[in-house]
Amino acid sequence: MRFQVTPMVKNLLIANGAIFVLNILFPIVNDLFALRSFESPHFFPTQFLTCMFIHYGFMHLFGNMLSLFMFGTVLENHWGAKRFLIFYLACGLGASLIYSGVHNYEINNLKNIYTSYSVEPTYDGLKAFERQYGRDLFSPEAEELSDANPNAPQLEGVKGIMQEAIGTVINGGMGGASGAVFGILIAFAVLFPNTELMMLFIPFPVKAKYFVVVYAFLELSMGVVKVPGDTVAHFGHIGGALVGFILVKYWQKRRNTFY
């Protein structure tokens, strides 16, 4: 496989790199570009697209751009620059929309658990809130207090922690090209299913179709089973993959349509 950067992939690499640098120099870029909940005062509809171009940390950027370079160049050579750009943006937008839907659903769950706990403070309620939030929040003393004395004044502090956690989730930003890149991986596997890939930590070649199926299964599993401390937007990846699969299959059926 020949890796020579194509024009649109080159432009996307430059755009992502430039915005990464700008975000370091001017933190307001994150406020404007990262995708937030509808309830956040920092939410703008443009964030459904702009979040694709902002990354958190060099390795986050490097991993996405390496995949864009390796697989995107093949797709751009196959489709042409305009169709490739349409595909890339559509996958990124699909990732943002599906992530946003799941994210707001999770926020509503947090609020419902908080409301139930406010009415009847219990140990089970605390643990349910922690599971939904995705990390440990409360001390053993707070856990014991809930069942032992539901009217204790100290419980106001526990409720305050819950409220702060809900606010953090509402105002937290999501960014990265991973959804669009996952769409690219899906398209590559559909169009070139038997291409053998050499993956890091796997000492033998793996066909693209098998690699993508396993990868998608892992993403879905990690999205459903919330691992404490995991900040990856797994459902955003799944959203990009789903849009990518639908779009590439649609284009395969309309072979006479070019962009």
Does residue 227 lie in a domain region?
yes
Domain count, the chain: 1
At 37 the pLDDT is: 93
pTM to 2 decimal places: 0.85
Does residue 40 lie in a domain region?
no
Beta-bridge partners for 142: none
At 258 the pLDDT is: 40
Does residue 71 lie in a domain region?
yes
- pLDDT tens, per residue, the chain with 259 residues: 455 889 999 999 999 999 999 999 998 999 899 999 999 999 999 999 999 999 988 988 998 998 899 899 999 999 999 999 999 999 999 999 999 999 999 999 999 999 998 888 888 888 888 888 878 887 776 766 666 666 666 778 888 889 999 999 999 889 989 899 999 999 999 998 888 776 656 666 778 777 777 776 776 666 556 665 556 677 788 888 899 999 999 998 876 444 3
Q: What is the C-alpha end-to-end distance of the chain, expressed in Å?
A: 25
What are the phi and psi torsion angles at 36 (to 5°)? Answer: -125, 170
Supply the range of the domain harboring residue 70: 7-34+58-98+175-253
Neighbours of 225 (CB within 10 A): 9
Does residue 195 lie in a domain region?
yes
At 223 the pLDDT is: 59
Does residue 30 lie in a domain region?
yes
Strand, helix or coil for residue 58: helix
At 259 the pLDDT is: 37
H helical segments located in the chain: 7-25, 28-33, 47-50, 58-67, 73-79, 81-119, 123-133, 140-148, 155-171, 178-191, 208-224, 234-253
Element housing 206 (H / E): strand 206-207
Does residue 200 lie in a domain region?
yes
Does residue 48 lie in a domain region?
no
Tokens of 259: 């962009």
At 257 the pLDDT is: 42
Does residue 84 lie in a domain region?
yes
